[in-house]
Structure 1
Amino acid sequence: MSIAIKMPALSPTMEEGTLAKWLVKVGDQVSAGDIMAEIETDKATMEFEAVDEGVIAHISVDEGTEGVKVGTVIATLAEEGEDPADVQPASGEASAPAAAPKEEAAPAPAPTPAPAPAAASAPPQAVAPSGDRIIASPLAKRIAADKGLDLSAIKGSGPNGRIVKADVENAKPGAAAPAEAPAAAPAPAAAPVEAQDFGIPHEEEKLSNMRKTIARRLSESKQQVPHIYLTVDIRLDALLKLRGELNAALEPQGVKLSVNDLLIKALAKALVAVPSCNVQFAGDKLLKFTRADVSVAVSIPSGLITPIIKDAGSKAISAISTEMKDLAGRAREGKLQPEEYQGGTASLSNMGMFGIKQFEAIINPPQGMIMAIGAGEKRPYVVDDALQIATVMSATGSFDHRAIDGADGAALMKAFKEYCEAPLGLVA
């Protein structure tokens, strides 16, 4: 029986994507793990791997096609024993995607992935009791249905934990798969503002999937999340001195620390010290995290992405520096994996390198806070009751007031300031 290859949901926020490039053609033999296509998601351009073996019988969506809905059949695979010439193209359009929980940023603390829409002619998409989408090949789903297997009880051995044919063939019959909860109706989208060029010469640039997602998510954050902003001025002279000493010591290893590396560490330590700010608002409950995963804003040509330094509070600053350089480089090349930018318990955005003195960042849902860093500059500053010149930066924390009280936010800002001004605590 032929296999319908569908547009995958490569990130929790993905509802449609651009089939940027096919890496196979009709007649090619593919095996599980082979790279079949490059797909532009709302976050990056990612490689799409085959999960079944067979021969490409039909390609239904041409490369370069934009707005391909998740679940749409993009190709048809002939299985072993089938003549590709006799295989008819698989049919079926993507159904409307179920409403997904708010993410984080991207991105984000392990957001629950949105269920992948199934084609009209395919069996219902299996969903775990927790609401997480189960990733399984079409053939594995059919075998599971025939054997009465519960896919949520089967551990997948394919890419990203996908359940493949061998997994279900080796599994023992069990309870029937749980019924999928009915999808919530999506909220109506606000009508876009009609463009007006007023006769001024201009060019039009089509929005990328990433830019569309940024526009939607930040609009939702500003409209739905009550922001409270708290600003502190931080004297940086001790931190800059420590950075110079550490760089001198690390030079033989080829490691050069940035100020941002130390600020990532300082935010993570502050979040651990003030756990009431390392939280996420989740409707009728509050998620309290036991470690600080810091999402760091990185500007890339198509928009903004937030790769994550996981458990930054327990990592050496040199390790944070090395990891951050790698993540930022691959982010600009569009080569980050979803787990590298989905999650985070809080974010840090630094615009100091542009000379910005102070700004207020928009919270990256479903996170509870984001730290906005301004430029370090020479300013008049009172030291030991005397007016002196010091290197000072302004840091502004944006907090979700549903989850974090002003006093708790103030405690976090105080802890962050103390770690920056007495930076030996960052290497202790």
Structure 2
Amino acid sequence: MLKKNILNWMAGSQNWPQKNKKIRTSLIFVLGLLLLIIFFSSKVQADKRTPLLRNQSFEEVQDGQPVGWRAVTYQGEANFKIDKLSKSGQYSASISSVKGADASWSTIVQVKPFSTYRLTGWIKTKDLKSAGGRGALLNIHGIEKMETKALTGTNDWTRVELILNTGLNDALQINCLFGGWGKVTGEAWFDDISLEYLSGRTLKPQATIYAEEKLPSVSKYIYGQFIEHLGHCIYQGIWAEMLNDRKFYYPVGSAESPWKILGQPHSFHMNPLLVYAGVPVPEIRLKGDGQKAGLFQEGLSLQAGRKYNGRIVLAGDPGVLPVAVRLVWGDGENDRQVFTIEKIKPEYEKYYFSFTSGRTTDNGRLEIVSRGSEAFRVAAVSLMPADNLEGFRPEVIKLLRELNSPIYRWPGGNFASGYNWKDGLGDPDRARILLGKGLSQMMLESMSL
């Protein structure tokens, strides 16, 4: 109405006398400026009234799920539901767990880079107990310390708040978090999640191009592929080693070790005084009664007629001789090949052997046994198909060549967190063993130069 009256007044001003032309022009300018202020002010107010988060109170529900939100379980067992126990409106979003869970209701929101926002919400909890997690809270996914306070125990509706800066991000994932870096039990309700823009700076990006300056060409080896020591990417993957835990990180005979005790030796233990590759060495002390005893690993995939090469790092007393290394592909006496060690020293020495499998099987075995007396120690063992390319599987190398990457790099990923480049040089049998911190996975440094 105000704008209409101003426009009518401006139209009538055309009939003013000529002598008032300057006054009329000034008034028109001022009134035009006033209209612009009114327009932009109303737009800003409208923007402030428009929620940045869709369905922030979980009132829009489709097929039992809140529109714009998704249920995410990071670990454990979580139950998600839309509940009529709400702070406002009809519904809230609930997460509960009896056995413990780390989970969230999550949504993605567009934001302005280099801007400040206020994230608020209401949380209610019942019998919420930590099982390693923080509790019930709001957080920004993937950005450290961007989280509200965490609630535990039983709480009525409690307001939580977080002031955050977006930095380079133009989108954020907001989590209604149940647990947080660990599990919790109990139940939590979330409602009225709000994101409010507070301030920001205007970006004026610019670039200067110096067309006359030419830089050296970019080497094709700058860009390539990283290979992580994960799963079978390296071992039973690109690397041809057939034995697991070939340097005895886990005690032989334990649930974690792929190695098993063969026969009934007088004693078998991981001697802490005898260390090789950074871990204790298995020592087999024999009874001297002529019965075979030692250790073995099964589950090896063998192909009939295929040749396999290997080595063993061994030390011991002369009474143990002879020591036999056997590749076994069946239950019969002839379903094996034997490499016999006739000389042994107290100091570690390497012995090289070669076998040809007489049958195709997925349950081949490598055995290291003696029928003698005294004791012998096994520091490391290796077994590979004889056609390996300096330790790499030729069929995998062929496939990698077809990918046409200019370079493949390792270590990559989590392996690099505990990696020392010196471990990749020299004798691979002496290279130390790493345990992946984030994956709880053994990662042998066998791919050495």
- TM-score bracket, normalised by the shorter chain, equals under 0.3
Q: Which has the higher contact order (CA 8 A, sep 6+)?
A: 1
Would you tell me which structure has more helix in proportion to its own residues? 1
Query: Is the radius of gyration larger for structure 1 or structure 2?
Result: 2
